Amino acid sequence: MTQNLLPIRILFHSAFALVYLPTIALAFAIGGIYVGYLSLSALAALVIFAALDILTIRRKVNQKAVLCIDILVAIGLPGCVWPLLVSGISEIVFLHDDTYTTYLPNLRTPLELTATFTVIGLSTLYVLYIVVAAVVSKVSGNAALPRYPDESPLASPGTRRNAFLGRQRTATERAMVIDHCTSYIFQRSIFRKHAFEPTGWAIFRGTIAVYCCVGLLLFAAYEGYSEGVTYGKDGMSVQERVLASAQVESLETYLSVAMLSPSQPIPSDLKVARPGHTPLTQTVTASDSQFWSENAPLGDLVDGGVATYPSSAYPFIKDNDFNVSWSGDVTVNIWITTSGVYGSTDSIQALYTPGFRIPPFKEYDIALIIISYEMNNFEWLFLEPHIETAAASGSNTTTARFSCSWQTQRQITHRDLTPPSGPALFAQALSAIGGAYAFIDGVFALIFGRTMLAILFGSKSISPFGLLGIITRARLRHLINEQYPRLQEDIERGGMAAYISEVAVDPGLVLTSNSPPNRVAAPSQVVHTGDDAEVTGLIPLRPMERSNGNSSHLAQEDCEPSRKHSYE
């Protein structure tokens, strides 16, 4: 693990830069001038990281001292944005009645939470990697710190300055270290690239890929939290459609008129009358609430107070017209429903339909529009009031005449109320996240010609085998080499097969124990410069699979500088 510590350090330092530059901008935007200026101190830490990397490449520094400084700077970096971290942590958990409660109040919170977790997590991950790498190397019997070929002991003798900085590396040693770092960074990280691609392009592409993934993770967290809140609130989702009136069949309906006066008691003289029809019966539930309903026909009552009407009443009760009157300065809220159960102010019908407010001292003519509801196989009709005329009564009385012309209402709005379903909400969140990913990945591929997964993980854009091909990998390799015996030879010569294997199909499948497993040039090879260097070979986006028979040879090549490919 420690063999590649220097390139991994450089990658971590790049990650610190990618994280802290937008965090500084966020500190100015959210925390103000003071927090913003304090966060600028992180730039000094990034400069220290860059200086340590340059010193390690150019000189044989004391790596123990360099790593100690590196770790101290990484641990201290979050302190540069501590007001932002404190704000983010306080948004997550706060002490309330001796219990910790999750609190996510506003739009800025997701940004603060993302910055908090990323800043703290990155420093923690970096320190843990160095510690784990040192422990694993010690347990394996290797040196805890990397040693490059022909390198002298880490702490050079001499003055204290030389003990830390060490002697300057020769040009060959510098080239060896640079080649080792560039080979790792441009083949095994988000900055992976082909040998013919510009370095700046690869760095820009990898940076954009990281920010796209972070944005996608932020969106996924927000979407998951939003759906979780929806599920936790036990609300109802509404699906609305328009049906022909003949489709809204109900044989178990009778009229209920519920009333509520939240500010004062309902007047004792409040009456609900249906001239020429069966009178409604008053039921007082509280001083400020009551409901009026029809008496079910004798012999038709069943369990639960549900009355079944004869088919002659289909599709609606014809005598839904009624009058409401009272005296005094009292405002009444009213719910008018028809269903198989009584519709009090606490009934399901009243809880899931809006009330209608009637101010006092006026005479109203109100039309009723039928809206159909269904929830958990329970159906009811809501008669929605619409004021047609309103005039002053000239006295302290209030009169409202309600009429329902159901014969002329040919279309009825039907609303299905469904409780939140965990699997359905999960599928909805998954579809939203998948749609966002498909859009981002499509735009990314349109601009850079490669998907984000290919940049992050080094996968090829075309795979003729898929996940199932992993099971029969050995047989597929044998059949490919049997069918195309000259394919590997063409790849080694840099022909069309080399280009296709580089940009499209994983070339590791066609390698055999008899074919050269690596195309990294040895020092004895001719050094190519200029345009020749770009066409003499290709560097895969990820390390090619190597055979067991040439393991010692490969280990030697990994430490040797490749002059065949210029990453610049």
One digit per residue, pLDDT tens: the chain, 568 residues?
557 888 999 999 999 999 999 999 988 888 888 888 999 999 999 999 999 999 999 988 888 889 899 999 999 999 999 888 888 777 665 534 444 444 444 556 667 777 888 899 999 999 999 888 888 888 877 665 655 544 444 444 445 556 677 788 899 989 999 998 998 998 888 898 887 888 899 999 999 999 998 889 888 878 887 787 777 777 788 999 998 877 775 555 778 999 999 888 999 999 999 887 778 899 999 999 999 998 654 334 444 444 444 434 434 556 678 999 999 999 999 999 988 888 899 999 999 999 999 999 999 999 999 999 999 888 899 999 999 999 999 999 999 999 987 778 888 899 999 888 888 888 888 999 999 999 999 999 999 988 898 888 876 655 566 667 767 777 887 888 888 888 888 888 887 877 777 776 655 555 544 444 444 333 333 333 333 333 333 344 444 444 444 433 333 333 333 334 444 4
- Give the whole-angstrom CA distance, residue 220 versus residue 217: 5
Token pair 């012309």 in the structure block, residue: 405
pLDDT recorded at residue 399: 96
The answer to whether residue 358 is domain-embedded is yes
Q: Are residues 254 and 139 in the same domain?
A: no
- The residue assigned the tokens 């003289």 is 269
**Domain residue limits at 55:** 2-145+167-189
User: Domain for residue 506, yes or no?
Assistant: no
Which DSSP letter does residue 212 get? H
Q: Which of 441, 466, 492 is the last residue of a domain?
A: 492
CA distance 37 to 24: 9
Name the pairing type of β-strands 378-392 and 93-96: unpaired
Please check whether residues 404 and 362 belong to one and the same domain: yes
| Residues 79 and 179 occupy one common structural domain | yes
**By C-alpha distance, which of 525, 509, 527 is closest to 517?**
509
In 126-264 the beta strands, taken as DSSP E runs, fall at: 237-244, 254-260
Please name the helix (run of DSSP H) or strand (run of DSSP E) that holds residue 393, with its range, or none: none
Structural domain includes residue 307: no
Supply the DSSP symbol for 466: T
Residue 272 shares a structural domain with residue 380: yes
Q: Record the tokens describing residue 200, joined without a space.
A: 């700046």
Determine the pLDDT at residue 291.
94
Report which DSSP code applies to 31: I
Asked if residue 194 is part of any domain, the answer here is no
Q: Which residues on neighbouring strands pair with residue 364, listed in sequence order? A: 390, 400
139 and 75 assigned to the same domain: yes
Residue 249's DSSP bridge partners are none
Same domain, 133 and 12: yes
Tokens of 162: 């030389």
484: region left, alpha or beta (phi > 0 left; psi from -120 to 50 alpha): beta
Residue 293: CATH number of its domain: 2.60.470
DSSP state of 329: S
Two tokens, residue 363: 């005479």
Residue at 402 is within a domain: yes
Asked if 450 and 338 sit in the same domain, the reply is no
Q: What's residue 307's pLDDT?
A: 45
Q: Contact 319/274 with Cβ under 8 angstroms? A: yes
| Residue with the two structure tokens 């209920």 | 256
Radius of gyration over every alpha carbon of the chain, rounded to an integer in angstroms: 38
Alpha helices in 402-521 (DSSP H): 422-448, 452-457, 473-483, 487-492, 496-503
DSSP state of 396: S
At 343, which amino acid appears?
Answer: G
Residue 206 domain-assigned (yes or no):
no
How many domains would you assign to the chain?
A: 3
The beta-carbon contacts of 123-131 under 8 Å, at least 24 apart in sequence, are 123/74, 123/75, 123/77, 123/78, 126/12, 126/16, 126/71, 126/74, 127/71, 127/74, 127/75, 129/8, 129/12, 130/5, 130/67, 130/70, 130/71
> Same domain, yes or no, for 346 and 415?
yes
CA distance linking residue 88 with residue 523, whole number of Å: 53
Q: What span, in angstroms and rounded, lies between the C-alpha atoms of 348 and 341?
A: 10
As given in the structure block, the two tokens for residue 151 are 């390198």
Residue 515 within any structural domain of the chain: no
Same domain flag for 326 and 440 = no
| 139 and 263 both lie in a single domain | no
- Whether a cis peptide bond, with omega within 30° of 0, leads into 315 is yes
- Of the three residues 384, 399, 419, the one that is the final residue of a domain is 419
Do 320 and 285 share a domain, yes or no?
A: yes
Same domain flag for 280 and 400:
yes
Q: Which residues contact 497 (CB under 8 A, 6 or more apart)?
A: 487, 490, 491
209 assigned to some structural domain: no
Choose one of 385, 419, 453: the last residue of a domain: 419
pLDDT of residue 229: 75
